[in-house]
Homo-oligomer: A and B are copies of this chain.
Amino acid sequence: MKIGELGDRCGVTAKTIRYYESIGLLDEPTRTASGYRDYGDDAVKRLRFIRDAQATGLTLSEIASVLELKSTGERSCSHTTALIEQHVASIDAQMRQLADARRELTLLADRAKRLDPASCTDPNRCQVISDERHMA
């Protein structure tokens, strides 16, 4: 299968595939006589795994390190699990941050709604955002 088809099957562009290859995330495939990249079904699996892993928020370099574990096979699965667990922890941290931000913003929005819209006329102030009581 050529690069375009692989891309279509996995939902990425040919350019992205070449990019992944360039950073070592995908192995160099065999080539046809005319120099075209020629992929097997393994490539589909691998590329889909990359996409899946990426969807969970792993960076490409984290994914690369997981895939490296696969290929060396030397280190145990515990390396992989450690990476995953670490990542779950960072997701939790991100979620906490977002929750905080959300609370802040809804507070802000609520305040905005309570204000008389007609009173927002001072060209140098928007009450929603420049209220002193709100400013840290």
Which of B51, B80, B129 is the one whose CB lies under 8 Å from A80? B129
Report how far A130 CA is from B51 CA in the complex, Å. 13
Residues on B with beta carbons closer than 8 Å to the beta carbon of A78: 117
A88 engages B112 (CB within 8 Å): no
Using a CB-CB cutoff of 8 Å, which residues 50-108 of chain A contact chain B? 51-53, 55-57, 66-67, 69-74, 76-78, 80-81, 84-85, 87-88, 91-92, 94-95, 97-102, 104-106, 108
Please tell me how many copies of the chain the complex holds.
2
Report how far A77 CA is from B84 CA in the complex, Å. 44
Report how far A52 CA is from B108 CA in the complex, Å. 11
| Interface SS of A by simple majority | helix
Chain A interface (Cβ < 8 Å from any Cβ of B): 45, 48-49, 51-53, 55-57, 66-67, 69-74, 76-78, 80-81, 84-85, 87-88, 91-92, 94-95, 97-102, 104-106, 108-109, 112-113, 115, 117, 120-130, 132, 135-136
